[in-house]
Amino acid sequence: MVPFSLAKKPKPKNTTKPKETPGPNNDPGLPVKSDLPFDFRYSYSESNPAIEPIGYREPKRFSPFGPGRLDRKWTGTAAPTQLETDMERLMEERNRVLGDPLTEEEVAELVERYRHSDCSRQINLGKGGVTHNMLDDIHNHWKRAEAVRIKCLGVPTLDMDNVCFHLEDKSGGKVIYRNINILLLYRGRNYGPENRPVIPLMLWKPYAPIYPKLVKNVADGLTFEETKEMRNKGLNSLPLMKLTRNGVYVNVIERVRDAFETEEVVRLDCKHVGMSDCKKIGVKLKDLVPCVPILFKDEQIILWRGKRNQELESSAA
């Protein structure tokens, strides 16, 4: 017997240095340049550029596109385009890609192919609305499909016209089918995946800026006591509707308008919606009905129709 086992030969040390991966700032493909003729925002349909924020929750230097990855400066709410847009040339190019209008038979064929719930070419549009990264998803589907099915849920469904506008405006496609909250977005006859626009992706969702208060302590046109009385009246009234979380709200505006024909104050029960979505609903209703939100409490929205009698009397005079 051998008293000692033979020792294994030591493995030779690897003297070759590992290849250095290029850092984000050393990548020759950065910063990304995009010719898209609009300002980049997290959400196009759920933001209003006309309303200036009064503060920010994070420094403006923190671009959601990443440091040094985009040739546009982040302002806290958007990355403005640096190029002047020739609208005539832009519309000519979009019309060229869309080609001749689809016939009724062609539309019917596409609708039958993509409208069903088991369609594999589907994008879910939630409370973020038409987001920036969704544009990249749309073009990815358009590589292999003529149209993409978009299922809309939540706050954006209050204004489906706005959703359709931004989908067409930002993607260059055409909405060929619309049924309640289901849309079909067509890419165009002459669409070529090799000519798709450069869409730099957002790496994270930016913090929402701070905007002025939606509900004032005293509503315009009312005294403090009248405002208090209206709020109590709304809280003690029966709810006009009960909204569910991530529901379909396409008929809410019409229902509120009809209710204001006979009622001065309307209550919406948003018990399972969440306070954040409650306020977003209130912002949209304020502009679209129009009306005055006077209270958000316990996931209840109290809406006042405003001084309509005075407006009718002044217009009649």
Half-sphere exposure (Cβ direction) of 82: Cα atoms closer than 13 Å: 7
Confidence class of residue 3 from pLDDT cuts 50, 70 and 90?
low
Burial class (CB in 10 A: 0-12, 13-18, 19+), 31: middle
Q: What percent of the chain has pLDDT over 90?
A: 69
d(CA 308, CA 45): 29
- 42 and 64 Cβ atoms separated by less than 8 Å: yes
Residues of the chain with CATH 3.30.110.60: 25-212, 224-316
- 202 and 210 Cβ atoms separated by less than 8 Å: no
Q: What is the mean pLDDT of residues 201-230?
A: 92
Can you give the pTM of this predicted structure? 0.85
Helices (H) and strands (E) in the chain, counts: 8, 8
The fold for domain 224-316 equals Translation Initiation Factor IF3 (3.30.110)
- 229 and 302 Cβ atoms separated by less than 8 Å: no
Would you call 9 helix, strand, or coil by DSSP? coil
pLDDT at residue number 313: 45
Look at residues 128, 119, 101 and name the one whose alpha carbon lies nearest to residue 183: 119
Q: Considering all CA atoms of the chain, what is the largest pairwise distance in Å, rounded to the nearest integer?
A: 121
The fold for domain 25-212 equals Translation Initiation Factor IF3 (3.30.110)
Q: What is the mean pLDDT of residues 59-88?
A: 90
